[in-house]
């Protein structure tokens, strides 16, 4: 991977500022609740302008949700995604997404993918506040301005699969360190009916649509089968009657053997949707996304990092030994795209 120069980073910061001013003039403030409105089959009914502005609390670290590496497996290569949740009465949330290889899509020319050098620059731009370079973190209040597309049950802010800078969306810091929203406590009975089918209501006053895009907590559940525990895995939780899929992210605390959740436990994650059909109806495909786990044994959630204050404790087991050295050697000279290559 090519490492960008400081001059390139400065140039992209200036471009980002110009684009932000341009989009500010084009966009208008919108609520997540209105933005995610759907009809009887779950299709979007939002008819606002091409460019919108949304505000909310950042819920996750992008690099723990999807693989941002430009050579990530799959036709799209690297992908970047975060969620922002509405404040107060704005009961909703929205995903922000970007991919490297738009040219892998049948309707996009092959040359319309980001290059190895361009992709890290885009990640740096989205991971940092324009102007001062502040690195965004979960719990920050932000404003996003950009274009949007509907995909499998939800409306995303994205680039409309276009690498032209005119299609960039921007993220602006409003207040750092506000803190994550308190997860709404939800039972599986509020998400699934007696036949274990997703509860869908177009008015979104109950069921999965009501909680979509937000941080929720489901208490006292177990895995149906935990043998597939690993990064990017989808496992199923149950309360003994109903079930619900849980998508595991790629945080450092998730790897084979790191799950110690044997007794009934609680789960905190982002309620996401990716419907099984791309053409509708869009009334299924709901899942809970948990991006990392700290090994506490009682609550499956991203609480930051494992406990301990030993800089050399690479694997987070509370001691420094040859296992840490082995982990360090395996990852030697690797760079976190969009974080470790911005200066």
Q: How far is CA 54 from CA 11, 42, 99, 136, 311, in A?
A: 26, 21, 21, 16, 38
Q: How confident is the model at residue 28 (pLDDT cuts 50, 70, 90)?
A: low
Instruction: Tell me the C-alpha distance between 231 and 76, whole Å.
Output: 18
Q: Is pLDDT at 156 greater than 50 in this prediction?
A: yes
**If we measure between CA atoms, which residue out of 211, 58, 20, 234 comes closest to residue 139?**
58
Instruction: Tell me the C-alpha distance between 94 and 117, whole Å.
Output: 28
User: Which domains are present in the chain?
Assistant: 6-175 (2.40.50.140), 184-300 (2.40.50)
The DSSP bridge pattern shows strands 265-273 and 215-223 to be antiparallel
Q: How confident is the model at residue 336 (pLDDT cuts 50, 70, 90)?
A: confident
Q: Is pLDDT at 19 greater than 70 in this prediction?
A: no
Instruction: Tell me the C-alpha distance between 161 and 158, whole Å.
Output: 8
Report pLDDT for 327.
Answer: 85
CA angle 183, 157, 31 (to 5 degrees): 60
Residue with tokens 């190895």: 116
Q: Is pLDDT at 55 greater than 80 in this prediction?
A: yes
DSSP 8-state secondary structure symbol assigned to residue 159 = -
Q: Is pLDDT at 18 greater than 70 in this prediction?
A: no
**If we measure between CA atoms, which residue out of 200, 100, 215 comes closest to residue 153?**
200
* Tens-digit pLDDT profile for residues 119-128: 999 999 999 9
Residues 72, 337: contact at Cβ < 8 Å? no
- DSSP-assigned letters across all residues of 215-249: EEEEEEEEES--TT-STT-EEEEESSS-EEEEEE-
Task: At 88, list the tokens.
Answer: 């107060």
Task: At 175, list the tokens.
Answer: 């207040």
Single pTM value for the model: 0.89
């Amino acid at each position: 991977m090519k490492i960008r120069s400081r001059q390139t980073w400065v140039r992209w910061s200036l471009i980002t500022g110009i684009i932000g001013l341009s989009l500010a003039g084009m966009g208008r403030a919108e609520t997540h609740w209105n933005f995610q409105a759907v009809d009887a089959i779950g299709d979007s009914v939002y008819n606002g302008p091409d460019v919108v502005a949304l505000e909310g609390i950042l819920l996750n670290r992008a690099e723990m949700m999807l693989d941002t590496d430009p050579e990530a497996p799959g036709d799209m290569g690297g992908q970047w995604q975060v969620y922002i949740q509405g404040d107060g009465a704005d009961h909703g949330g929205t995903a922000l997404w970007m991919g490297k290889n738009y040219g892998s899509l049948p309707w996009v020319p092959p040359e319309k993918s980001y290059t190895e050098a361009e992709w890290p620059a885009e990640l740096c731009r989205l991971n940092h506040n324009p102007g001062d370079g502040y690195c965004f973190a979960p719990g920050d209040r932000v404003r996003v301005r950009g274009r949007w597309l509907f995909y499998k049950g939800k409306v995303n802010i994205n680039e409309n699969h276009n690498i032209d800078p005119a299609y960039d969306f921007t993220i602006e810091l409003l207040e750092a360190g506000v803190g994550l929203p308190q997860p709404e406590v939800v039972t599986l009975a509020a998400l699934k009916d007696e036949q274990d089918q997703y509860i869908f209501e177009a008015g979104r006053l109950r069921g999965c649509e009501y909680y979509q895009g937000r941080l929720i907590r489901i208490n006292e559940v177990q895995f149906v089968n935990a043998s597939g525990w690993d990064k990017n895995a989808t496992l199923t939780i149950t309360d003994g009657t109903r079930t619900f899929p849980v998508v595991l992210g790629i945080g450092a605390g998730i790897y084979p053997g790191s799950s110690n959740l044997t007794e009934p436990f609680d789960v905190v994650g982002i309620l996401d949707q990716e419907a099984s059909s791309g053409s509708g109806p869009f009334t299924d495909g709901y899942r809970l996304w948990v991006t990392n786990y700290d090994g506490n044994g009682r609550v499956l959630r991203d609480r930051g990092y494992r406990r301990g204050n030993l800089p050399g404790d690479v694997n987070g087991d509370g001691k420094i030994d040859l296992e840490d050295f082995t982990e360090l050697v395996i990852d030697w000279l690797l760079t976190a795209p969009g974080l470790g290559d911005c200066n």
